[in-house]
Copies of this chain bind each other. A is one copy, B any other.
Amino acid sequence: MSDSCFVVRLNRYLDLTPTEKTAIASLEREPREYASGNTLWQEGDDLSELLIVHQGWALSESRLSTGKRQILRFHFSGDLIGASGIAFRDAPSSIVAATDMVVCRFPRRALGETFIQHPRLAALFFSISQMESIDLYDRLRALGRSEGKARLANLFLSIAARMRAVSGQHNPVVRIPLTQSDLGDAVGLTQVHVNRLIRQMTEEKLITRNRSTVTLLDEPRLIEISRFIDRFSSLDSSWFPSPRG
């Protein structure tokens, strides 16, 4: 049996034992497909399952009663979706497919069993969730304390960093299947202003963008503008319990 995408993802941070791999793989239920634009679940829905992204992109978003939307996070291959709702019964945000997707389901109750049988995996889950918190810190700082151009630069760099961590390649061309509206809702700007900023950044030879690809032309300057810090490179597992089995 070939490794599931979740195993591949977790294995990036830790050398999983065969037992651990089997344990994780056995949690994944049959995959399900969603077409681009579909809603996987909505804010407030009751969550009995978590999802693991097999293929495609999803984004979690939340709407204000004014109709405005904030995009909270992007989910790529190997990401666990819904963990942030595990402390509550209800989903804190909606999940929407940004491209066609394949996701595996993962029963929520199974998580408890995993915590007992595989403390090292529990530690890994905990660590990954902390990495995501740090990612949120960085975005908070970007939204709170930097202007439009820097916010966009930060967004492009952080998406690129995550994609590159998965692919292992360092390509200046990044596939970002988002409209200008989406970008705006992610960084707290209007679509119109995103358009103007992208034009400016193009004139300054920082990036180019067409359709769903963004090319990072001048990464050093993008990093300088946005004070981007790449967090996703390594994980400190020195405090983890030792593996079983």
Contacts and interface: CB of A to CB of B under 8 A. Distances in A.
A236 B89 contact: yes
Nearest to A84: B133
A41 to B, nearest CB: 15
Interface stretch (A15-23, A60-68, A205-213): A60-68
Contact of A108 (B111, B131, B139, B239): B239
A188 B111 CA distance: 37
Q: How many copies of the shown chain assemble into the complex?
A: 2
B137 A92 contact: yes
Interface stretch (A115-123, A173-181, A195-203, A214-222): A115-123
A241 interface: yes
B140 A231 contact: no
Given A64-B146, A64-B227, A109-B239, A140 B84 contact: no
A111 B70 contact: no
A191 B212 CA distance: 39
A87 B140 contact: no
B112 A123 contact: yes
A161 to B, nearest CB: 15
A144 to B, nearest CB: 3
Contacts of A188: 143-145
Q: Which 3 A-B pairs have the closest CB atoms?
A: A144-B188, A136-B136, A70-B141
Given A92-B134, A112-B239, A119-B119, 11 more contacts: A72-B141, A85-B130, A86-B130, A87-B131, A88-B134, A88-B235, A93-B137, A113-B241, A115-B122, A133-B133, A136-B137
